[in-house]
Amino acid sequence: MELHVVLRHDGSETRRHDGRIVPVLEIGPYLTAPLPAGPAANADWTRFGNGICAEALAVRDPGAIRSTLWRLGDRRLAAKAARLEAQLTAMPPAEVLYRAMCDGLGFTANRVPMRDLAQRLPIATLEALLATIPPQRRLALAQALIYGVAGFFPMSPTDATLAGLDPAALQGIESFWQSHGQAWHDSRLAPTAWARVRVRPANHPIARLTTLAHWVSTPPAAFQAFVLDTLRAELGPVTMLQRTGATPGSPSLGVARATEIVANAIIPFALALSEQTGDFSLAEAASRAWEALPPGESNAVTRRARAQVAGQARLGCLGTRGQQGLIHLDATLCQPRRCFECPIAHQVLATADDATAG
């Protein structure tokens, strides 16, 4: 239930963006002592939330805003880690990680079928089948099972081209599906489950399924160990994901998407697992990777939040950590108009108070 809490109620209705009325609770009559005084108590809060909130501060001291956005990004990361930690109580760790990474590979258009694929074809089943054949044939088997469960057989020439498969390779993969995929022949996803129209080649589901097949089959280590090792790799997790998932002739996973998967799946999972197991070295590796992640691709939310905070002023060196802070700021403070709780608004008030005192 939503509730609008106010100090004094002027009798007007409070409505959400969708028009629904929100109940109002007036706490003034129940206070037993005055509220503490301070710059926020007598501030003009109408200056926030409508126009640009902190452009002058962004020009004068961008580092202050950057540090605040980093802290907000850390909050968002902690929330993701907590959700994954809750899943660890119900599923094996490798399954939690696998599902989170499949979700990231789905982009916006194909997240639902990617999640469905991960449920129908668990990583434990995949790894058990891959362990029964020679290493040089594991990729073909992984492709066969992933493409087959995803509903891409028989494969069209266009899809085969996007997967980087010549006719001989495709024939071998389809033979694997016939010999090893019987358990899923009647439980495949419908081909219509996937969004393909107006999807860039790099985001096409067959290209991303090919990436997944490489991730689960190519490394000598088990899937979970390989993924967590990328956090400690000298090249970094983004480059390792790109290199391991690359297929000649198939669109490669872009830096921005690889960064998103590291930020939204691998690092939160590592923190969740380290909390559960007490593996402090894993937590440190995840934290270092988090602070070093370059910025991902900007989107409507990050652009809106950046403009709300800084207007035309530059906020450089945010990295993924700061971008996630912008998303957290927009979702939890800016859009609900919770300006009184916004740390950036309080920074503006504090610096204005300091300037007045000086």
Q: Which of 220, 218, 151 is nearest to 181 (CA)?
A: 151
Of 225, 222, 217, the residue nearest 145 (C-alpha):
217
Token look-up 């809060």 returns: 45
Helix/strand/coil percentages in the chain, nearest 5: 60, 5, 35
The model's pTM is 0.85
Gap between the Cα atoms of 244 and 241, Å rounded: 5
Nearest-CA neighbor of 72 among 351, 306, 348? 306
- Residue 145 CA: distances (Å) to CA of 118, 127, 209, 218, 273: 12, 11, 10, 15, 28
Distance CA 271, CA 279 (A): 9
Q: pLDDT 10s per residue in the chain (358 long)?
A: 577 777 777 777 777 666 677 787 777 676 555 544 555 555 566 667 778 899 999 999 999 999 999 999 999 999 999 999 999 999 999 999 999 999 999 988 999 999 999 999 999 999 999 999 999 999 999 999 999 999 999 999 999 999 999 999 999 999 999 999 999 999 999 999 999 888 888 889 999 999 999 999 987 779 999 999 999 998 899 999 999 998 888 888 999 999 999 999 999 999 999 999 999 999 999 999 999 999 988 999 999 999 999 999 999 899 999 999 999 999 999 998 888 889 999 899 888 655 444 4
Beta strands in 99-217 (DSSP E): none
What SS3 class is residue 119? helix
DSSP SS3 for 4:
strand
